[in-house]
Amino acid sequence: MSGENTNINTGISDIFSKISNNGEFPKLRPEFNETHYIKRIKKQKSPQRTYLDPTNDELVDVIIGTNVTVQIVQPEDPFRWDGSYLGRICGRNILEKVEFSGIKYWRIKVLGHMKICIVRSIANEIPCICDELKEYFSLPKLGTHSVLYRSKRYLLVEARTDSNNLIIEEITIDKVDPNSNMEFVRRVRETFVFREILGLIMSRDKSIVVRWSEKSYIPPYPVSFYESQMRPHDNNVVISNVVENKWFDDVSIDDVIRSMLKIENNEDVIERIAYVRNNIENIIVRIDRNMIWMVRPIIDKLTRRLLKNESEISATPDWD
């Protein structure tokens, strides 16, 4: 192997060896070890092309004495992290599998583009829909896709890597001091309230991770991480008493919703609910039209929350 390829990272195994506490990483089964993987270095185009040279970027064939040049175009990167379905994949698309700190990672290649992804099996597109809805509540998203592999649907989450393409371990907020930064606490409250609005069950500290930006002036922020099941029809609060006591103090869920949506009066309620409903419908239709039933119970729950005190905000509007 030439010297120009000696510093190329050869897989997730190398990544984990640098982030684990004891210098060890989970052993891969033999079928997942990929010792042959190296980064391809693109060569300069040859001045003379013939149909006998299939390694070039262009193919030249001879048809009735006429040279025909066919440009081989690299497919567009399918990883847009917009919740979309990437289709069916097979074993050769998955270059490597590993599990670390209870999280499964795949190194996956689709249409010539390789990514490292967090992977979870899912029953439907709820995680993708929830992730895409976050920006309409001014919350950061994970970045997701879904694929079909061996007749099962899987969620792909964009894995965080540093400047050296090494995976950054996911840290849940149960490992964070809740009193250390009030701005962080405010963002945690908003993340839990988002989960409450959608009826995402298992809303606890381990459902939310902490992210750090590459920009030093942006402080750490929470991101909702586990979003597998939701019960929007359920009127019971999904936020536990433990979570409320730890993160909310004397701040109510309704107050947090009004702050997130910038609600000050009844006119604001009408405008913001219409905005949220329109975007929820657009996201669901784009990702999975069969999940359109989610819209009504989410909007009903949000409306009840915002109009609970009719002495402050007048009569309940009719959204239909």
Q: Do residues 195 and 148 both lie within one domain?
A: no
The predicted-structure confidence for 162-180, as pLDDT tens digits, reads as follows 888 788 899 999 988 766 6
Q: Do residues 186 and 237 both lie within one domain?
A: yes
Q: Do residues 147 and 185 both lie within one domain?
A: no
pLDDT > 90? residue 131: yes
Q: Is 69 domain-assigned?
A: no
Q: Is 220 domain-assigned?
A: yes
Pairing of strands 144-149, 152-158: antiparallel
Nearest to 258 by CA among 205, 185, 184, 313: 313
Q: Do residues 115 and 224 both lie within one domain?
A: no
Q: Do residues 131 and 15 both lie within one domain?
A: yes
Q: Do residues 206 and 142 both lie within one domain?
A: no
Angle at 106 between CA 145 and CA 187, to 5 degrees: 55
Which pairs with CB-CB distance under 8 Å and at least 24 residues apart come from 253-258? 253/193, 253/196, 253/305, 254/305, 254/306, 254/308, 254/309, 256/189, 256/190, 256/193, 257/193, 257/197, 257/302, 257/305, 257/306, 258/306
What is the DSSP secondary structure assignment for residue 248, as one 8-state letter? I
Among candidate residues 131, 158, 185, the one where a domain is terminated: 158
Q: Is 315 domain-assigned?
A: no
Stretch 12-33: mean pLDDT, rounded? 39
Q: Is 288 domain-assigned?
A: yes
Q: What does pLDDT average to over the chain?
A: 78
Cβ neighbours of residue 170 closer than 8 Å, sequence gap 6 or more: 101, 103, 118, 160, 209, 225
Neighbours of 296 (CB within 10 A): 15
Give the integer Cα–Cα distance in Å for 263 and 256.
Answer: 10
Cβ neighbours of residue 291 closer than 8 Å, sequence gap 6 or more: 124, 125, 126, 129, 284
Q: Do residues 243 and 117 both lie within one domain?
A: no
Q: Do residues 142 and 190 both lie within one domain?
A: no
Among candidate residues 134, 158, 182, the one where a domain is terminated: 158
Count of domains observed in the chain = 2
Domain that includes residue 14, residue range:
3-39+76-158
Q: Is 52 domain-assigned?
A: no
Q: Is 225 domain-assigned?
A: yes
**What's the confidence (pLDDT) of residue 192?**
97
Q: Do residues 244 and 269 both lie within one domain?
A: yes
Rounded to two decimals, the pTM is 0.74
Q: Do residues 249 and 181 both lie within one domain?
A: yes
Q: Do residues 23 and 104 both lie within one domain?
A: yes
**What's the confidence (pLDDT) of residue 180?**
65
Nearest to 203 by CA among 242, 175, 234, 177: 242
The predicted-structure confidence for 274-316, as pLDDT tens digits, reads as follows 999 999 999 999 999 999 999 999 999 999 888 765 544 444 4
Q: Do residues 300 and 206 both lie within one domain?
A: yes
**What's the confidence (pLDDT) of residue 60?**
40
